[in-house]
């Protein structure tokens, strides 16, 4: 079902639209049931791994409010998993803010962070825009959203995801829901929600009720692509043709497995997605914070880097909290192998 006729909406506003009961992908329908859950659980319990989580503390560079405010270049800082803080044209933009210790509906169980965040929410400067890709727990953190509610000017989210935010205390006039291929301009930067091949849901009864997607962030000076979660599909090439080239692509590279290869990419596919997008510099994200698959924690980086080097793709992999200038191919420090 291609969702192209609906209009962007301020949640709680006067504009209304009829939405489908469930959203679907453009090229495939992803289904999973109790048998799949059993097989995946069995796989987690029986697979042998050398290093599922880091054996030593990961390097995290502490960020400060003052340095962020004083920054004059277009820069990106990785906070963890798919959480990135960027400063574009002197505006702060954040992707999928997850600050909780666990990517889980409860904080006493579930995947636990490998590292602390390089800056606390309380120490962040005022954030102009937060973009959210979908409502899975490793991308939509209730506690973080509640703490960010008064610090953020605008939340841009896929259709129906805004309902979560409103319920958690975000003012309705701060939430804009978009459909695939719709755009919203805020302070001169254009944000476009673009398709991905994934699914959504936070409970056992709300599967695919909310939309999922990726984000094109087009500032007057530079363009950044944020993939959210996705299997590899032709949509990346279409996005690249419509909105590329990109100075930087933040591409999902991690938490993959043959069992769910339709909705998460293998590292080599992540590199191909970057090429399809007409990206200049690739930044692999969705790794090095949570154990969400059955591969060793460093494997996504090493596989993506090896494939990228074979194909002449510039890859950056800064430490958590390390300053990256958008579009620059900074030298690799190989911190994950130390």
Domain boundary assignment for the chain: 35-326
- The answer to whether domain 35-326 has CATH 3.60.15.10 is yes
pLDDT tens per residue, range 36-72: 555 666 666 778 899 999 999 999 999 999 999 999 9
pLDDT score at 156: 98
- In the chain, alpha helices (H): 34-46, 65-70, 142-148, 161-167, 235-243, 267-276, 299-310
CB atoms within 10 A of CB 2: 10
pTM across the whole model: 0.94
- Per the DSSP assignment, residues forming a β-bridge with 183 are 192
With cut-offs at 50, 70 and 90, classify the pLDDT of residue 3: very low
Residues 6+ apart with CB under 8 A from 166: 11, 12, 172, 175
* Integer Cα distance of 334 and 338 in angstroms: 7
pLDDT score at 103: 97
Q: At what angle do helices 267-276 and 235-243 cross, to 10 degrees?
A: 30
pLDDT score at 5: 32
- Would you say residue 244 has pLDDT above 90? yes
pLDDT tens per residue, range 192-226: 999 999 999 999 899 999 999 999 999 999 999 99
* Integer Cα distance of 254 and 244 in angstroms: 24
């Amino acid at each position: 079902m291609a969702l192209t006729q609906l209009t962007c909406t301020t949640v709680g506003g006067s504009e209304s639209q009829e939405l489908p009961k469930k959203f679907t992908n453009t090229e495939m329908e992803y289904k999973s049931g109790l048998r799949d859950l059993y097989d995946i659980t069995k796989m987690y319990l029986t697979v042998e791994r050398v290093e599922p989580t880091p054996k030593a503390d990961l390097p995290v560079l502490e960020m400060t409010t003052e340095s962020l405010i004083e920054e004059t270049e277009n820069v990106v800082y990785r906070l963890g998993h798919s959480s990135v803080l960027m400063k574009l044209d002197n505006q702060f933009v954040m992707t999928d803010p997850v600050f909780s210790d666990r990517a889980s509906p409860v904080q006493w169980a579930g995947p636990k962070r490998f590292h602390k965040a390089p800056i606390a929410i309380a120490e962040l400067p005022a954030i102009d825009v937060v973009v959210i890709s979908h409502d899975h727990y490793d991308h939509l953190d209730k506690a973080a959203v509640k703490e960010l509610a008064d610090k953020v000017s605008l939340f841009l989210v896929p259709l129906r995801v805004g309902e979560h935010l409103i319920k958690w205390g975000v003012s309705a006039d701060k939430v804009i829901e978009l459909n695939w291929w719709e755009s919203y301009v805020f302070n001169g930067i254009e944000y476009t929600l673009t398709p991905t091949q994934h699914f959504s849901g936070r409970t056992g009864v709300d599967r695919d009720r909310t939309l999922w997607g990726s984000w094109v962030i087009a500032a007057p000076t530079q363009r950044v692509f944020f993939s959210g979660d996705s299997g590899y599909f032709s949509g990346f090439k279409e996005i690249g043709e419509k909105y590329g080239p990109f100075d930087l692509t933040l591409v999902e590279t991690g938490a993959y497995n043959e069992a769910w290869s339709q909705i998460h990419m293998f590292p080599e596919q992540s590199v191909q997605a970057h090429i399809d997008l007409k990206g200049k510099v690739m930044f692999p994200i969705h790794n090095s914070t949570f154990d969400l698959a059955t591969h060793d924690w460093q494997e996504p980086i090493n596989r993506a880097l090896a494939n990228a080097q074979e194909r002449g793709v510039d890859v950056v992999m800064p430490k958590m909290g390390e300053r990256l200038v958008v579009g620059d191919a900074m030298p690799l420090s190989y911190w994950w192998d130390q």
